[in-house]
């Protein structure tokens, strides 16, 4: 006879966790003229094969449900700094956890236990944000975890976004649905890609944003609200898998598109600098400054641009402190134009 007293482990046996079934992407990998890859926005969802069987290869909308009431689990969001081999720092705008070996990046110091010896991979608490947010190396990042009831109720799919507008829209819808229905768990919803014209630095561009839609009438909302207490009780113990931390340009089986063009706007950088020289705002740059401009313009991703800029301004080995003020202004102009061009290429491909 089994002793019923010793058939459950406190704090473990009552945990219920859904598996992750796959990832749904908002873009594809494109190949630039120099052979380097960069993420490129598309107007449809890039879905795995089992989702494609239900919705086709380029769906514009998906039927979704949130598996639990915990919006911190279904849509976790934070500032994140990635490097080529993974996540290095995660923060909330006040504090962050960072690898001790990466403390020098962004001039950070531990907020607590700073005098203690730490292993290189040990996480320590630092102030957030730091200068990496300004250089573009650190960005906002969020992971939407959803059920696709027409595909499978056996687990969740992850959708990663770094868009300010997407994060704002999903957060707003979560609060709205909860206000109407009394819950967000297991409420039938539509997730669509919605074309919007967004203005950035004086330029308008089309983007394909996420929009969550509660497509019910007043009577249906009342029925869903009547079942709220039962649904909340049934989903209370459910937990979700931690998001895959592979950044805004994740590795994997995303399609590859060949793109023979370079990021839109790079061609205008030289003309802008020449215009400043023509009206006397800056003198002709030094030869080393011209070479440095070329290095910046070769950047295809924000990470590459940030790394190039860090090399320029490095206190010990960078050329920044040796340059005249006019050349510094020219370099800052080129960097800002490159950053805008890369961001536009990512979110608004030609």
Mean pLDDT of 75-101: 87
pLDDT at 107: 65
Give the integer Cα–Cα distance in Å for 270 and 171: 41
Where are the domains positioned within the chain?
12-76+143-258, 267-347
pLDDT at 260: 37
Helix (H) or strand (E) holding 153: strand 152-161
State the sign of the Cα–Cα–Cα–Cα dihedral 244, 245, 249, 251. Answer: negative
Q: Does the structure show a pLDDT above 80 at 248?
A: no
Spell out a b/e string for 134-162, using b for 16 or more CB atoms within 10 Å of the CB, else e. Answer: ebbbbbbbbbbbbbbeebeeebbbbbbbb
Query: pTM for the whole thing?
Result: 0.67
Residue 114: pLDDT band (50, 70, 90) is: low
Compare 135 and 62 and report the one with higher pLDDT: 62
State the sign of the Cα–Cα–Cα–Cα dihedral 53, 55, 60, 65. Answer: negative
Mean pLDDT of 114-124: 72
pLDDT at 229: 78
Residues 6+ apart with CB under 8 A from 128: 79, 91, 92, 93, 94, 95, 96
Residues 6+ apart with CB under 8 A from 331: 289, 292, 293, 296, 312, 323
pLDDT digits (tens, 9 = 90+) for 145-163: 999 999 998 999 999 998 8
- Pick from 2-6, 232-236, 240-244, 267-271: least confident: 267-271
Longest dimension (CA), the chain: 93
To 5 degrees, how large is the angle CA 241–CA 59–CA 56?
A: 100
Mean pLDDT of 321-341: 73
Mean pLDDT of 65-74: 90
pLDDT digits (tens, 9 = 90+) for 193-235: 998 887 766 677 788 999 999 988 888 888 888 877 777 777 7
pLDDT digits (tens, 9 = 90+) for 22-41: 999 998 887 777 777 777 88
Give the integer Cα–Cα distance in Å for 253 and 89: 25
Please tell me whether the peptide bond between 129 and the residue prior to it is cis, using omega within 30 degrees of 0. Answer: yes
Compare 288 and 178 and report the one with higher pLDDT: 178
pLDDT digits (tens, 9 = 90+) for 43-64: 999 999 999 999 999 999 999 9
What is the bridge-based pairing of β-strands 138-148 and 95-99? unpaired
Mean pLDDT of 296-322: 71
């Amino acid at each position: 006879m089994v002793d019923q007293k010793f058939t459950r482990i406190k704090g473990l046996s009552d945990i219920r966790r859904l598996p992750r079934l796959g990832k749904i992407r908002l873009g594809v990998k494109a190949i630039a003229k120099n052979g380097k890859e960069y993420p490129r926005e598309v107007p449809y969802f890039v879905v795995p094969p089992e989702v494609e069987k239900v919705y086709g290869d380029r769906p514009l909308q998906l039927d979704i449900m949130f598996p639990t009431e915990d919006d911190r689990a279904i849509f976790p969001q934070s500032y994140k700094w990635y490097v080529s081999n993974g996540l290095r720092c995660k923060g909330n705008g006040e504090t962050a956890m960072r690898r001790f070996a990466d403390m020098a990046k962004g001039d950070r110091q531990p907020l607590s236990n700073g005098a203690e010896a730490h292993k290189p991979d040990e996480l320590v608490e630092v102030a957030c944000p730091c200068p990496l947010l300004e250089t573009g190396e650190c960005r906002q990042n969020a992971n939407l975890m959803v059920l696709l009831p027409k595909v499978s109720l056996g687990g969740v799919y992850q959708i990663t976004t770094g868009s300010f507008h997407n994060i704002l829209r999903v957060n707003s819808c979560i609060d709205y649905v909860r206000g109407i229905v009394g819950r967000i768990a297991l409420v039938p919803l539509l997730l669509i890609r919605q074309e919007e014209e967004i203005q950035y630095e004086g330029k308008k561009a089309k983007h394909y944003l996420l929009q969550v839609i509660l497509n019910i009438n007043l009577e249906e909302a009342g029925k869903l609200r009547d079942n709220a207490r039962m649904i909340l009780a049934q989903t209370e113990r459910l937990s979700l898998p931690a998001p895959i931390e592979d950044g805004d340009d994740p590795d994997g089986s995303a399609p590859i598109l060949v793109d023979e063009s370079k990021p839109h706007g790079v061609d205008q950088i030289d003309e802008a600098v020449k215009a400043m020289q023509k009206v006397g705002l800056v003198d002709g740059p030094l030869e080393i400054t011209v070479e440095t401009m070329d290095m910046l313009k070769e950047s295809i991703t924000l990470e590459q641009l940030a790394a190039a800029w860090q090399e320029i301004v490095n206190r010990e080995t960078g050329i920044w402190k040796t340059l005249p003020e006019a050349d510094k202004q020219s370099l800052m102009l080129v960097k800002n134009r490159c950053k805008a061009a890369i961001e536009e290429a990512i979110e608004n491909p030609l």
